[in-house]
Amino acid sequence: SVSTPGQMTRDERMRSRYGGFSFEPEGGWTVADEDTGFSYEEMAASISEMVSYSRGDTCVGTVLGFEPNGALIDIGVKSSAYCNLQEAALVKPNKPEEVFEIGSEYEFQIVSREDENGQLFLSRRRLLSDAAWVTVQAMMTEDKTVEATVAAVNRGGAMMTVHGLRAFLPGSHYLPGQNPPEELVGSTLSVKFLDVDKENNRLVVSHRKAMVDQTIKNLAVGSVLAGVVTAVKPYGAFIDVGGMSGLLHISQISCDHIGDVGNILPVGKQIKCMVISQDKGKGRVALSTKTLEVEPGDMLKNQEKVFEEAEATAAKYQERLEA
């Protein structure tokens, strides 16, 4: 305090300059604390309870609002955190509303330190990616068939999207003798996993394997299948039946003698044939058109008649075998 208002002694000037004057409310600090209902100790305790995060930590946050390129998230720190569109999902959405709902809680990973405004940046994509890799690894182990979307097609095969992850479908694993056409982009294919390697970000799938497994599962001796000639050899023709390659031996084409297989069954020709034997373990199947001939030599004289009446002829053939 000052002894004489308006005048300060030398000691008072020194205290003012280096020690300063302290404010004390009337009645002391204890009275002030009681008046406010909130003590300094309580304020210090509330600050110490505030959560802090480091890069790489996971947290649960509530969506507060949307911005053009992301969403504001409350994760219990002093400033709202931010998740941009690129990190909002496995496949980047056009708007945050497509993947988030205001007021809903989601799990995030901290991907940055606080910026100059005290804001943290979050990622949901990284957590979803980890979960997707676990899922596809389990599916490969269980040899499951899944649906994949064709994202792009090139000379080597096709790029697919499986559970939000990018996968490669080699051309040789589309269908025998065929490469995926451009028209497939945007459509879905049944696939099985050939390689799942998270460390090297490598995911390879096969449509052919999925189709073969499905065909073999439903295959039975005596079944009539539609197929396409994919290759011709001196000893017979290879036929693609439901993604699986079967052999139509030259002796099983017709009751009449065959001189040149290619003249009877050129590559690309669509036919019908009967399953006469199979090895499900090795994925092999033997085919016949001879058993579908109504009259011996029809495969040389009138193939269309053979294919049109294939199912009826096969039924009669089975009846003869069972008689």
Q: Which residues contact 183 (CB under 8 A, 6 or more apart)?
A: none
230 neighbors 245 (Cβ within 8 angstroms): yes
Q: Give 221 or 303, the one with higher predicted confidence.
A: 303
Residue 37 scores a pLDDT above 70: no
Q: To which residue do tokens 């479908």 refer?
A: 169
Would you state the pLDDT for residue 207? 92
Express each pLDDT in 51-106 by its tens digit: 678 888 999 999 999 998 999 999 988 889 999 999 999 988 999 999 999 999 99
Alpha carbons 63 and 50: distance in angstroms, whole number: 19
Q: Is residue 3 part of a domain?
A: no
Q: Are strands 244-249 and 284-288 parallel, antiparallel or unpaired?
A: parallel
Q: Is residue 150 part of a domain?
A: yes
Looking at the fold, whether 114 and 84 belong to one and the same domain comes out as yes
> Residue 32: what pLDDT?
47
Q: How confident is the model at residue 27 (pLDDT cuts 50, 70, 90)?
A: low
Q: List the structure tokens of 312.
A: 């009826």
The predicted-structure confidence for 141-177, as pLDDT tens digits, reads as follows 999 999 999 999 998 999 999 999 999 999 989 877 7
Domain range enclosing 88: 58-123
Ranges 21-25, 222-226, 273-277: which has the least confidence: 21-25
Work out the pLDDT band at 178, boundaries 50, 70, 90: confident
Q: What is the pLDDT, as a whole number, of residue 71?
A: 95
Per-residue pLDDT band for 50 (boundaries 50, 70, 90) equals low
Number of domains in the chain: 4
101 lies in the same domain as 151:
no
Query: What band does 45 get if pLDDT is binned at 50, 70 and 90?
Result: low
Question: Is 235 found in the same domain as 317?
Answer: yes
Task: Please tell me whether residues 62 and 43 are part of one structural domain.
Answer: no
Instruction: Please determine, for residue 184, whether its predicted confidence score (pLDDT) is greater than 70.
Output: yes
- HEC profile of the chain: CCCECCECCHHHHHHHHHHCCCCCCCCCHHHHHHHHCCCHHHHHHHHHCCCCCCCCCEEEEEEEEEECCEEEEECCCCCCEEEEHHHCCCCCCCCHHHCCCCCCEEEEEECCCCCCCCCCEEECHHHHHHHHHHHHHHHHHCCCCEEEEEEEEECCEEEEEECCEEEEEEHHHCECCECCCHHHCCCEEEEEEEEEECCCCEEEEEHHHHHHHHHHHHCCCCCEEEEEEEEEECCEEEEEECCEEEEEEHHHCCCCCCCCHHHHCCCCCEEEEEEEEEECCCCEEEEECHHHCCCCCHHHHCHHHHHHCHHHHHHHHHHHHHC
Q: What is d(CA 306, CA 312) in angstroms, rounded to the nearest whole number?
A: 10
Measured distance CA(247)–CA(6) in Å, rounded: 116
Q: What percent of the chain has pLDDT over 90?
A: 57
| Predicted pLDDT of residue 6 | 57
Q: Are residues 238 and 314 in the same domain?
A: yes
pLDDT at residue 35 is higher than 60: no
pLDDT of 168 reads 96
Same domain, 233 and 182: no
**Both 247 and 316 in a single domain?**
yes
Measured between alpha carbons, how far is residue 22 from residues 16, 25, 28 in Å? 10, 10, 12
Q: What is the mean pLDDT of residues 284-309?
A: 92
CATH number for position 268: 2.40.50.140
pLDDT digits (tens, 9 = 90+) for 261-290: 999 999 999 999 999 988 766 667 899 999
Mean pLDDT computed over every residue of the chain: 85
- 242/314 same-domain check: yes
pLDDT at 114: 81
Could you tell me if 310 and 228 lie in one domain?
yes
β-sheet bridge partners, residue 4: 7
Q: Which residue has the higher pLDDT, 300 or 52?
A: 300
pLDDT band for position 46 (cuts 50, 70, 90): low
> Distance (Å, rounded) from C-alpha 168 to C-alpha 159?
5
pLDDT at residue 29, as a whole number: 55
Q: What is the pLDDT of residue 30?
A: 57
pTM above 0.75, yes or no: no
Total Cβ atoms within 10 A of residue 289: 24
- pLDDT value for 31: 52
Examine residue 203 and state whether it is found in any structural domain, yes or no: yes
In this predicted structure, what is the pLDDT of residue 142? 93
| CA-to-CA dists, residue 242 to 157, 224, 272, 285, angstroms | 19, 12, 12, 12
For residue 93, count other CB atoms closer than 10 A to its CB: 14
Higher per-residue pLDDT: 186 or 216: 186
Q: Is residue 5 part of a domain?
A: no
Q: Are residues 284 and 250 in the same domain?
A: yes
Q: Which of 211, 156, 155, 160 is nearest to 185 (CA)?
A: 160
